[in-house]
């Protein structure tokens, strides 16, 4: 771990030697790992003191972390996560709020808060995170980083704490697209549904309408540059029924699964939780079988809808979040509103399982804004390749 | 650790084998250890997630714990402590609030909350705690247990996290005086300043006047019984200058030392703390050299004063706390008021370094009330012997 961590990005576990292969495609790069993944010699805290206490020292390293080590990357520490990964604020009441290296007055976002913080402070070259409802995409947006929520199931979450398994994915952050692509080669390998050379760019007007006008204006030059490179984006509508219906389908699936994951812990140990997380889990407990069944059916319909819209060559370009990050001094209510509002578009990748890559291509008021590419299942590496082309053209 | 812990008294660390001698004066007894003491195979959390993260697994067991193991007692787990041991409420915002087995609607007290909780719920026979400003005496009062704050320095705190070293002591709890005395034999050995057979009982009227009238009334029969056994208590005044002066001397010494202990951690990691602990440490930081010097001088005067009052054979009998424990539903302000008020008399043992034994000899409104014996330095075992005689006579 970084001996001096001005960002409060890392959990200050005692450093233990973690062997890496030394040479390989990632040699020369160092990385942090969200404290949901097991790393041999370390506990896995999950952002909660009782989870940390129960953890003990892990004897095995999660396969995805091991893959990075085997590729020659150097592990530098475990990064702070929002409590039980069930938040997007980056404010953990037990482990602190890692700082945003790109916009110090604003929240880093979460739940992969420490990973985004560490990368944005140049404390490591890249860092692993997870994304259930936006936990990679939100901090990528807020901290000015590249961040991928991959196709669901594509990168192993074995040896990692879950939140809502049918939504959980393993992503990562980097400051530059070259580093990002090197990690993509190792973690993704070749696409099983490669994009063609000529993609069909889609601009869902209903999703763009969710964003703050100032954010839309700030993203316009980047959008224009992408259109210059890939051809004009076709205006489409992405929502199914309504964003509200999508929002609730996502919330019910996430809530029910989160309660299945964390309910036993909560019922046995009654661990004190941060107020917002506690409230969310209290609500999760109330999700009924019927709500879950309806949400699951809606989800399948949405996936079909989005698959049809994208086909094999469609790539949506959308704002990652509806605006720049909230201020650190904003009220908890304001941050919760921000979360709810952003979930209306973030839930598209969650419900569909499709990959979404956020690129740090704009800013407003001195704070970063991400523009996202959302592609069909299995097109992850293709999205990264597009990001490389886009970055090269700017 | 107890496989089922309905009291939330234990930190749920994975159980590891801790070797004990098997036979000895404490064989047949099992015990818990406040999570300030190192036990090989376990981390030491100190009631704070960042301290827990930094701890790593300890390879050595604190000598005082080892002494208990060597005497044949069986270790059953580490108990929850108030955060950084700097509280008397027993409500840790990260690890929870262990329940009070004697008065479930009331706080267990702290900072040795889990130890008192575990013993009062019969989850173990005795448990180690520490007492800086009342952290054994308060939970002993609240949970209806025997609890000793020993002569300062008498029982080793090596291998334990500190709070304010010139005030910190290692004590323990038991439900019955026989068990309590067995542990006393092991941890104290013979007194270096033994009490004579005929002690001089003192009843400081000014200390008694600090208590709630209902508490005084509830304690009266026990006091009478003690007088019947040991002779009438002589009315004296115990305070030096004023209780307010004593209170502030204690607070300044504790605050300055607590900041010396925990300031570096706070400045480096900015760990999120419970509001009351944070406030107390913020205040601790402001204690000036002059305030500390005055407090230290006062403390020496008080010690001389109390030593003169007690001589070699004087034993004060006083209420442990000014009343029964606050309710769990009381406001944080009410609990803080309770703490401040009780510190006026609790600080006598702290400032002097003299031993104080709390005995669960009364109750009111269905909640326990402790009566304390406070004796000269080195009379600890003698106080326990008096408690045995008193218990036998009731």
* Token pair listed for A11: 């959990």
Catalytic entry in A120, A135, A284, A372: A135
Stretches in chain B below the pLDDT threshold 50? 1-2
Res. A326 pLDDT band, cuts 50 70 90 = very high
Q: What is the pLDDT of residues A199-242, one digit of tens each?
A: 999 999 999 999 999 999 999 999 999 999 999 999 999 999 99
Q: Which tokens go with A254?
A: 């996430």
Find the catalytic residue in B112, B117, B135, B358: B135
Q: What is the pLDDT of residue B22?
A: 77
Angstrom distance (rounded) from CA B120 to CA B135: 15
**Angle in degrees, 0-180, between the axes of helices A177-188 and A380-393, rounded to the nearest 10:** 170
Q: B111 catalytic, yes or no?
A: yes
- Report the residue of chain B nearest A8, measured CA to CA: B269
List, for residues B69-83, the tens digit of each pLDDT value: 999 999 999 999 999
Q: Identify whether B135 is a catalytic site residue.
A: yes
Q: Nearest Cβ partner of B12 from A45, A269, A272?
A: A269
Provide, as residue numbers in chain A, all residues whose Cβ is less than 8 Å from the Cβ of B12.
50, 53-54, 269
Q: Are β-strands A126-131 and A169-174 bridged in parallel, bridged antiparallel, or unpaired?
A: antiparallel
Interchain contact A96–B (C-beta under 8 A) = yes
Confidence of residue A168 (pLDDT cuts 50, 70, 90): very high
Distance in angstroms (rounded) separating the CA atoms of residues B315 and A4: 53
ipTM above 0.90, yes or no: yes
pLDDT at residue A275 in the model? 95
Active site residue A135: yes
Catalytic residue among A34, A115, A120, A358: A34
* Structural domains in chain A, sorted by start: 30-188 (3.90.1300.10), 200-243+288-393 (no CATH)
pLDDT of residue B3: 57
Whether a cis peptide bond, with omega within 30° of 0, leads into B360 is: no
Predicted pLDDT at B21: 64
What is the per-residue DSSP string for A76-97? EEEEP--GGG--SS--BTTTB-
**What percent of chain A has pLDDT above 70?**
99
pLDDT of residue B316: 98
pLDDT in tens, B308-349: 999 999 999 999 999 999 999 999 999 999 999 999 999 999
pLDDT score, position B392: 96
Backbone phi and psi for residue A360, each to the nearest 5 degrees, phi listed first: -85, 75
DSSP string, B75-141: EEEEEP--GGG--SS--BTTTB----SS-TTB---SSSHHHHHHHHTTSSSEEEEEESSSTTHHHHH
Residue B17: per-residue pLDDT: 86
Comparing alpha-carbon positions, the chain B residue that sits nearest to A54 is B13
Nearest to A315 by CA among A193, A170, A154: A193
Do residues B120 and B136 touch, judged by C-beta distance below 8 A?
no
- In this prediction, residues A59-75 reach a mean pLDDT of 97
**Has residue A1 got a pLDDT over 60?**
no
Whether A49 sits inside 8 A of B95 (CB atoms) is yes
């Amino acid at each position: 771990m970084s001996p001096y961590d001005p960002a409060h990005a890392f959990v200050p576990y005692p450093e233990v030697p973690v062997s890496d292969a030394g040479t390989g495609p990632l040699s020369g790069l160092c990385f942090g790992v969200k404290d949901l993944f097991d790393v041999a010699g370390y506990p896995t805290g999950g952002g909660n003191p009782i989870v940390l206490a129960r953890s003990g020292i892990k004897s095995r390293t999660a396969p995805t972390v091991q893959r990075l080590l085997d590729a020659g990357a150097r592990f530098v520490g475990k990064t702070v996560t929002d409590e039980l990964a069930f938040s997007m604020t980056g404010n953990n009441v037990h482990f602190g709020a890692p700082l945003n290296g790109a916009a110090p007055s604003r929240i880093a976002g979460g739940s992969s808060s420490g990973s985004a913080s560490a990368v944005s402070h140049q404390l490591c070259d890249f860092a692993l995170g997870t994304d259930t409802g936006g936990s990679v995409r939100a901090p990528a947006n807020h901290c000015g980083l590249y961040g991928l929520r991959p196709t669901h199931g594509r990168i192993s979450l074995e040896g990692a704490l879950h939140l809502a398994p049918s939504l959980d994915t393993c992503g990562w952050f980097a400051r530059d697209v070259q580093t990002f692509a090197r990690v993509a080669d190792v973690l993704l390998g070749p696409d099983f549904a490669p994009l063609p050379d000529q993609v069909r760019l889609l601009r869902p007007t209903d999703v763009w309408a969710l964003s703050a006008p100032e954010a839309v204006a700030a993203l316009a030059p980047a959008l224009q540059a992408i259109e210059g490179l890939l051809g004009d984006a076709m205006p489409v509508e992405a929502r199914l029924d309504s964003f509200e219906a999508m929002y609730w389908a996502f919330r019910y699936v996430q809530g029910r699964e989160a309660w299945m994951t964390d309910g036993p812990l909560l019922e046995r140990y009654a661990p004190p939780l941060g107020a917002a997380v506690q409230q969310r889990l209290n609500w999760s407990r109330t999700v009924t079988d019927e709500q879950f069944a309806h949400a699951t059916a809606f989800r399948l319909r949405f996936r079909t809808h989005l698959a049809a819209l994208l086909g094999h060559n469609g790539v949506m370009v959308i704002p990652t979040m509806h605006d720049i990050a909230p201020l650190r001094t904003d009220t908890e209510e304001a941050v919760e509103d921000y979360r709810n509002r952003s979930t209306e578009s973030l839930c598209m990748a969650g419900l569909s399982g499709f990959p979404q890559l956020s690129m740090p291509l704009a800013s407003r008021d001195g704070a970063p804004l991400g523009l996202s590419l959302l592609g069909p299942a299995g097109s992850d590496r293709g999205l990264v390749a597009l990001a490389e082309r886009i970055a090269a053209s700017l």
